[in-house]
Chain A
């Protein structure tokens, strides 16, 4: 179990604010850190890794203090059992994929390295240099490298934000299976609600330096479960008139739908506007994709 109680003064877009986090991460749990930009998510991750220093507080991992300001303990990142996946992946350009992982794995044997490469589907790419890899491939190398040391805590800083949706979905699955397979404790920073829902057992919502909500993703994000209505958030792409009706093209998540609307509904609507589509959800059909 990981006990976290940290304080740090940060400077944001609207001035200074206090980062005040007090929470526990259960062993082997998958926790998502969600919140707007500048809320302090990356800073929290970096403090856990030992890359940034909190002003005060404690980090205790399974009984071992990694940081304790009152006792003067501050373990450097090297002494913490962590795996960190950076947003820019931070692969070492002078080493091949295999060498990057071997560098990370330390004393662990060749079999382990081959297993890692196999699990992340990198076996064929072992001798390639990072600058010849695609985004998804780089992400897999970064992931394999981060878990090569079999760390206690896996920290991921929006690792999938630069990828397209299909690739993202595949890598989310990879991430989940690696987490399960190695019994890792994982903390994932993400902006993507879908991703959080899919992967995390628990979500911490961070805003202006504080945890404003904590719980299972369903509890945290689904607010109107009993209203019987289906509400979708959408973005207007285009509005056009077709004979007597208005047709509005909307972007819902990753899908495009067209709805018929009346002149009043459409009044003042511009492409780019955020709207809510609301309908009574009696029993829509659900089809499995693919």
Chain B
């Protein structure tokens, strides 16, 4: 049977890029929030958590408006960066990063908050700048949390549908990811193809989660840190 693997490859490419970007912006953000003491903290936490409760179509709608070349932001993007985000892979990445943000930030934030404050303080009394402490003391001690963040963001992006439906445009090879392809094939009554995509997605996400639980358990046993 010759199935088109492209939607699946696109899905994993989107998930990988999104997760990589989330590592870079999500971990520092989680660190800042974990150590924040101002009254602004609940507001920031709420903003970060919104994608958990917001219907994907709401986010998709606002992104569509924002990216649209007929509105201010979209116009600015096209003028200055020559980038059109609507109906593009880059647009999907932006949408996915926003939508999967809480999946990276929450576990990592919990990880940081679970560390005894005396670790950071001890490192400071030893003359180390906070950036050194972050990389040599804090991050190594929240490995399970980091792993959770990476895996959950990755898995969540694989499963994204609503946002991509709104801003993707279903362009084969560009924005037609596996979740959209399944929908598409079902609409066209190609149940075989739909089943193929659905099964592969199921199998891979199952394998990913299983790996996480097994590795986490091993880490905890070996005296790892939660």
Residue in A50, A92, A106 whose CB lies within 8 Å of B119 = A92
Cross-chain contact A77 with B125 (CB below 8 angstroms):
yes
- Which of the 9-residue segments A62-70, A80-88, A211-219 touches chain B? A80-88
Cross-chain contact A88 with B124 (CB below 8 angstroms):
no
B:32-79 near A, CB below 8 Å = none
Cross-chain contact B121 with A129 (CB below 8 angstroms):
no
Complex contacts, A77 vs chain B, CB 8 Å: 121, 124-125, 127
Complex contacts, A84 vs chain B, CB 8 Å: 121-122, 125
- Which of the 9-residue segments B134-142, B151-159, B181-189 touches chain A? B134-142
Cross-chain contact A129 with B223 (CB below 8 angstroms):
yes
Q: How far is the CB of A229 from chain B (nearest CB, A)?
A: 45
Give the docked Cα–Cα distance between A132 and B123 (Å): 21
Cross-chain contact A106 with B223 (CB below 8 angstroms):
no
- Given A51-B124, A86-B118, A92-B141; A131-B223 close (CB under 8 Å): yes
* Interface presence of B128 (CB below 8 A): yes
Q: Write the chain A residue with the least CB distance to B139.
A: A94
- Given A149-B126, A149-B127; A93-B225 close (CB under 8 Å): yes
Give the docked Cα–Cα distance between A94 and B137 (Å): 7
* Interface presence of A90 (CB below 8 A): yes
Complex contacts, B124 vs chain A, CB 8 Å: 50-51, 76-78
* Interface presence of A182 (CB below 8 A): no
> Which of B119, B125, B225 has the most chain A CB atoms inside 10 A of its CB?
B125
Give the docked Cα–Cα distance between A149 and B123 (Å): 12
* Interface presence of A104 (CB below 8 A): yes
B:87-136 near A, CB below 8 Å = 116, 118-119, 121-129, 136
Give the docked Cα–Cα distance between A145 and B118 (Å): 14
Complex contacts, B225 vs chain A, CB 8 Å: 93-94
Cross-chain contact B127 with A51 (CB below 8 angstroms):
no
Number of chain B residues whose Cβ lies closer than 8 Å to a Cβ of chain A: 18
Cross-chain contact B116 with A90 (CB below 8 angstroms):
yes
Complex contacts, A90 vs chain B, CB 8 Å: 116, 118-119, 121-122
Give the docked Cα–Cα distance between A52 and B21 (Å): 36
A:119-145 near B, CB below 8 Å = 129, 131-132, 145
* Interface presence of A103 (CB below 8 A): yes
Complex contacts, A236 vs chain B, CB 8 Å: none
Complex contacts, B128 vs chain A, CB 8 Å: 78, 103
- A89-133 near B? 1/0 per residue, CB < 8 Å: 010111000000001101000000000000000000000010110
Complex contacts, B137 vs chain A, CB 8 Å: 92, 94
Complex contacts, B129 vs chain A, CB 8 Å: 78
Cross-chain contact A88 with B118 (CB below 8 angstroms):
yes
Complex contacts, B121 vs chain A, CB 8 Å: 51, 77, 84, 86, 90
Q: How far is the CB of A158 from chain B (nearest CB, A)?
A: 13
Complex contacts, B122 vs chain A, CB 8 Å: 84, 86, 90, 92, 145
Complex contacts, A88 vs chain B, CB 8 Å: 116, 118
Give the docked Cα–Cα distance between A80 and B123 (Å): 13
Q: Write the chain A residue with the least CB distance to B125.
A: A84
Give the docked Cα–Cα distance between A79 and B225 (Å): 30
Complex contacts, A146 vs chain B, CB 8 Å: 125
> Which of A92, A104, A132, A145 has the most chain B CB atoms inside 10 A of its CB?
A92
Cross-chain contact A106 with B127 (CB below 8 angstroms):
yes
Complex contacts, A80 vs chain B, CB 8 Å: 125
* Interface presence of A49 (CB below 8 A): yes
Q: How far is the CB of A74 from chain B (nearest CB, A)?
A: 13
Cross-chain contact B127 with A78 (CB below 8 angstroms):
yes
- A22-56 near B? 1/0 per residue, CB < 8 Å: 00000000000000000000000000011100000
- Sample of 4 more A-B contacts, CB < 8 Å, known A82-B125, A149-B126: A51-B124, A86-B118, A90-B116, A90-B119
* Top 4 A-B pairs, shortest CB-CB distance: A90-B122, A90-B118, A94-B140, A77-B124
Residues of B within 8 A of A (CB): 116, 118-119, 121-129, 136-137, 140-141, 223, 225
Residues of A within 8 A of B (CB): 49-51, 76-80, 82-84, 86, 88, 90, 92-94, 103-104, 106, 129, 131-132, 145-146, 148-149
18 A–B contacts from the bound complex (CB under 8 Å): A49-B125, A50-B125, A51-B125, A76-B124, A82-B125, A83-B125, A86-B122, A88-B116, A90-B118, A90-B122, A92-B141, A94-B137, A103-B128, A103-B136, A104-B126, A129-B223, A132-B223, A146-B125
